[in-house]
């Protein structure tokens, strides 16, 4: 069985996220999503999410491409996750290109997929809140 993993916040789940998850699942048999916790988002990433971790987890678990959702609690856990979950392929959006190449040293294929260009959570938040001057969580 070929195992694939991706990481992210997945707030305001949209078709760009679904495209990423579908393409990641096509690379293997089992897709794990490491979902950033609320604490990790706020403290380490400087992001405030609209939906809580549990709500975002529930949304991801409803997506047919996702087999397992695990918490992402810090930047350093990736090497451990590669071994603990026997990962074959690590997938991220190409806005992270080069940032996780070190995982190749762990025997993992590292793939950066092109993002869906016309959509992002930041764009959604700006479109909704920016018109009122209330840009939240960007």
Please tell me which residue in 2, 45, 48, 99 is annotated as part of the active site.
45
Nearest by Cα to 112 from 1, 2, 6, 3: 6
Is 125 considered catalytic here?
A: no
* The CA-based dihedral angle spanning residues 127, 131, 132, 133, taken in that order and rounded to the nearest 10 degrees: 90
Is 47 considered catalytic here?
A: yes
Q: Which amino acids are annotated catalytic? A: 45, 47
């Amino acid at each position: 069985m070929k195992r694939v993993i991706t990481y992210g916040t997945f707030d305001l789940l949209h078709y760009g996220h679904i495209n990423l998850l579908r393409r990641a699942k096509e690379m293997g048999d089992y897709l794990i999503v490491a979902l950033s916790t609320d604490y990790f988002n706020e403290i380490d990433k400087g992001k405030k999410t609209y939906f809580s971790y549990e709500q975002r987890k529930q949304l991801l678990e409803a997506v047919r491409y996702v087999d397992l959702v695990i918490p992402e609690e810090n930047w350093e856990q990736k090497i451990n996750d590669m071994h603990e979950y026997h990962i074959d392929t690590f997938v991220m959006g190409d806005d992270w290109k080069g940032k996780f190449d070190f995982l190749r040293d762990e025997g993992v294929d590292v793939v950066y997929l092109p993002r869906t260009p016309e959509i992002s959570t930041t764009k959604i938040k700006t479109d909704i809140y920016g018109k009122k001057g209330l840009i939240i969580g960007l």
